[in-house]
Amino acid sequence: MALKTAMALAAGMLLAGCASRYTPTPLAANFPTTKQAKLQAAHHWGVISGHIEQQIAAELRKNPPRPVYIVEPKEPTPFQRALATQLTTALVNDGHVVSRSPAGSLKVDLDVQAVTFSANRPQYRYHGERAVLGSGVWLLSEVEAPPLAYLAAGAGGWDAYDWFNAQFAPGDTPKTEIIVTVSVSDQYRYLARSTSAYYVADTDRTLYGIVDPKPDEPKLTRTFQVRGDL
């Protein structure tokens, strides 16, 4: 172990000595690990609507009470329609007056931006291999999972392992994400604003207003150029 540590330190010092102090562009680096929720059910839409309402309500309480009016897009996507409806419900249940007309009310604008990134983005969920040691106890091994990982005794051991993995959405990293911004304003200023980002399943892109172009149909005819007399 001591030998491995010494070798790692020596390699780090060598790399540090070889690194250039000046580069024409910034070096690409990863962000610290974070988690971003993946929307996979209509219930999830209600959860984020409630979370947005709590953020907005906290800011509205800092100002004199006024009714609010939710501005819906002219051609809303299924997600935008559900977001407006669920946000209205959350505000009413929280004691706020939601007006059916904009006159004399604060305006609540909903903006949903759907973006598409490149497919097959890496997702590093663990550092090393994980192994169950017992009920509620698990180990993250640097090299390889001990045989005990495959022989976890009893349902308690499996429950701990299953809980540890259930926090991550299955499958590859989605290429589709949405940025949801809700703003409360009058004609002069913003009084409250909330912005959040979420993954969405790539198979649900149409629910968020993304229409993929149809693939080109194969050509059924070919043109040949003939030279000379027949």
At 176, is the secondary structure helix, strand, or coil? strand
Q: What global pTM score does this model have?
A: 0.63
- 189 and 107 in one domain? yes
- 73 and 87 in one domain? yes
Angle (nearest 5°) at CA 122 between 118 and 124? 155
Query: Does 143 reside within a domain?
Result: yes
Residue-number span of the structural domain to which 159 is assigned: 126-167
- 132 and 99 in one domain? no
CATH code for the domain of 104:
3.40.50
58-81 per-position pLDDT tens digit:
999 998 999 999 998 888 999 999
pLDDT exceeds 80 at position 225: no
164-187 per-position pLDDT tens digit:
455 556 566 778 888 999 999 999
93-134 per-position pLDDT tens digit:
999 999 999 999 999 999 998 888 877 666 655 444 444 444
> What is the predicted pLDDT for the residue at 16?
52
- 150 and 91 in one domain? no
Cβ-count burial 161-177 (b if 16+ within 10 Å, e if not): beeeeeeebeeebbbbb
- 114 and 182 in one domain? yes
pLDDT exceeds 90 at position 28: no
Q: What is the DSSP string of 88-154?
A: HHHHHHTT--B-SS-TTSEEEEEEEEEEE--SS------SSEEEEEETTEEEEESS---GGGGG--H
Domain count of the chain? 2
- 188 and 74 in one domain? yes
